[in-house]
Structure 1
Amino acid sequence: MNATSAAVATAVTFVWLGMVLAISFLEAPLKFRAPGVTVPIGLGIGRIVFRALNRVEAVLAIAAITAVATGGSPASVGTPAAVAALLLAVQLLVIRPGLNRRSDRVLAGEALPRSRAHHFYVATELVKVFALLALGINVLTV
């Protein structure tokens, strides 16, 4: 892998990883513990925050894939990059639409039981974190 592609891939990967960890695993669960934050308010904030995060993630995924693809990377780098990008696509195209429909219903005042779709989103986030960690480590060791 050439030095420029490795530097870009490293920076993009660790920025992406940091954003996912900070928002998905710190901000998202903590906002519901803040005084005065109701479920509708938390959902409204969460939708805005995750929409912004996902847009930034899409840009970072494109940058990471481009750096990996143009840098002559081995499979140890290409595979976790592809896994992270694929998981993001699954989140955006498969899981998030259902979560958005559900949050629309809650925001409209409907009382709903807890959703399993959220657990799938969290599971994909966890796997994405490990893929990004593997990508970052592998880029640094190539």
Structure 2
Amino acid sequence: MDHTSGALLSAFSFTWLGLVLGISFLEAPLKFRAPGVTIPLGLGIGRLVFRALNVVECVLAAGLVVAVALGGFAVPAGALVVAVLVLLAIQLAAIRPRLNRRTDRVLSAPDGADLPRSHAHVAYVAIELVKVVALLSLGITALRPG
């Protein structure tokens, strides 16, 4: 992998990592602790924020693919890019639709309705954790010479 491609790969990886850490692990849980933020309001905000995050993630994913394609295929970096792409695809195709359906149920439920906990939310967070490790590994791998 050439130097420019490695630098791009690292930049895209660390940018994406920062977004995931900032939004998924900081903004998302904290918004529900803010005064006056109700569950419906927090869910509505979360839906908008995560939709925007997912669009940016898709752009960064495309950047990763282009950087690897233009810079030559390095097995560790290529494998990590594939891992990140698969994790994102699982989130977007399998988990987000389930979370959206649950959000719809919560938003349409009468005040005080108590719905059971969501397993899809736990799965989303678990994949975010794995994605954090993969993005960190990818960013570090891309910085290594050779």
Structure 1 position 69, deviation (Å): 2.2
1:140 equivalenced with 2:143 (yes/no)? yes
Checking the alignment, whether the CA contact within 8 Å between 1:69 and 1:78 is kept in structure 2 is: no
CA distance in 2, matches of 1:61, 1:96: 17
Q: Normalising by the residue count of structure 1, what TM-score does the alignment of the two structures yield?
A: 0.97
Structure 1 position 79, deviation (Å): 0.9
Match of 2:134 in 1: 131
The ranges of structure 1 where at least 4 consecutive aligned residues each deviate by more than 6 angstroms after the TM superposition are none
Choose from 117, 120, 126 the match for 1:114: 117
Partner amino acid for 1:15? T
Structure 1 position 73, deviation (Å): 3.1
| SS at structure 2 position matched to 1:23 | helix
Match of 2:21 in 1: 21
CA distance in 2, matches of 1:22, 1:79: 25
| SS at structure 1 position matched to 2:109 | coil
| SS at structure 1 position matched to 2:73 | coil
Checking the alignment, whether the CA contact within 8 Å between 1:17 and 1:133 is kept in structure 2 is: yes
Structure 1 position 103, deviation (Å): 0.2
Structure 1 position 85, deviation (Å): 1.0
Structure 1 stretches lacking a partner, 5+ long:
none
Alignment of 1:25-36 (within 5 A): 25-36=25-36
Partner amino acid for 2:45? I
CA distance in 1, matches of 2:65, 2:136: 15
Structure 1 position 61, deviation (Å): 0.5
Partner amino acid for 1:108? S
Partner amino acid for 1:11? A
Match of 2:80 in 1: 80
Deviating more after overlay: 103-112 vs 124-133: 103-112
